[in-house]
Amino acid sequence: MAISCGIVGLPNVGKSTLFNALSSAGAAVANYPFCTIEPNVGVVPVPDARLDALVALYHPKSVVAATVNFVDIAGLVRGASKGEGLGNQFLANIRETDAIAHVVRCFEDDNVIHVEGRVDPVADVGTIDTELCLKDLETVDKRIERAKKALKGTASKEEKQILEICERLKAGLDAGKPARAQGLGAEETALLRDQGLLTLKKVFYVANVAEKQLAAADSDKYVRALRAHAEAEGAPVVVICAAAEAEIAGLDATDRPAFLDSLGLKEPGLHAVARTAYKILDLITFLTAGEDECRAWTVKRGAKAPQAAGVIHTDFERGFIKAEVIWWEDLVKLGSEAACRANAKLNLEGKDYVVRDGDVIHFKFNV
């Protein structure tokens, strides 16, 4: 299940530096707007201690982690919704992603230009939100006109629902309120899926700080302001120093622990970025394990066993018979599938079984 997260923000806030650290893809980094013209895409593994434990148990020939595709999108500027900068192209790139990682500058540095001439995280968020709301407003206006024309004829009941939702959305977008903050239900969201609304996407914020700010990030005035804003809309905030993360990513594995310790970090901040992207999309992981391969698979929370089987192969879902399920901790503790079976820790589950985050599953199927 491929998922993508767009990295957005104003120019020179550290988006490409973060992307380089995440993916080691070598995106260009420079101190001027629009350094990143075409969106760069990096496939980033989601750190998972459960998978690591299974690898230590089985010593498999192959290890495959769950992944998130991060898309580095060039900096948006005021007026992007009207095509300013390279607005139309960038907004189209955002439209194609599942979620948004909004990188916000929370550091002062006279050597790094700020496109607005000041450091103000909440104002920066407002600039991006305004441009995305304005673009969505165009989309909603067009859909309202289409619905009104359809209702003059023999339009469906669904068309009337869409008109009502869009008129409500328009009022909120006019007031600068993103679609995701307007209390839409699951059914209403489903009706709008084809519209590709930018502000309906899940968002989390990445507070990019200077290295000297890491130790006291919780009390930093810029981080606190961003967190207060994010909390009001129910969005997570991850604090990182993108420059330090890029340095960590370039070190040998043996040198990383000492450098992390010098920064007061238990793990790279990038791990939290990848996990947060995964979490806000309400995704969970089930695992398969053996001597040939240990692998983490991604499904939506609430997926049933046949759907999970289909992530591995469509034939598994089509010919699903049953699932042999072991909780990962039981497998690690007891040391083998046979031991789990002998200790009644292996369960046979049918089509209605809801997969848990951390299940180790072996599917039985017939086609």
pLDDT digits (tens, 9 = 90+) for 54-103: 999 999 999 999 988 888 886 665 554 455 444 455 677 788 889 999 99
The helix (H) or strand (E) run that includes residue 325 is strand 320-327
Crossing angle of helices 269-280 and 242-250, rounded to 10° = 110
The rounded distance, in Å, linking the Cα atoms of 112 and 116 is 12
d(CA 65, CA 300): 16
- Report pLDDT for 314: 94
State the pairing for strand pair 62-64/67-72. unpaired
Distance CA 205, CA 236 (A): 6
**What pLDDT is recorded for position 231?**
93
Tokens in use for 314? Answer: 């469509």
Instruction: Please provide the DSSP assignment of 116-161 as one string.
Output: TSS--HHHHHHHHHHHHHHHHHHHHHHHHHHHHHHHTTT--HHHHH
pTM of the predicted model, to two decimals? Answer: 0.84
Alpha-carbon separation of residue 110 from 11, 31, 119, 345 (angstroms): 15, 12, 10, 60
What the block records as the tokens of 305 is 């066993």
| pLDDT of the residue at 113 | 61
Q: Are 309 and 302 in contact (CB under 8 A)?
A: no
Is residue 205 within 8 Å of residue 238, measured between CB atoms? yes
- Interval 46-63: pLDDT, tens: 889 999 999 999 999 999
pLDDT at 82: 56
pLDDT band at 228 (very low <50, low <70, confident <90, very high): very high
In a 3-state reduction of DSSP, which class is residue 91?
helix
Residue 30 has pLDDT above 50, yes or no: no
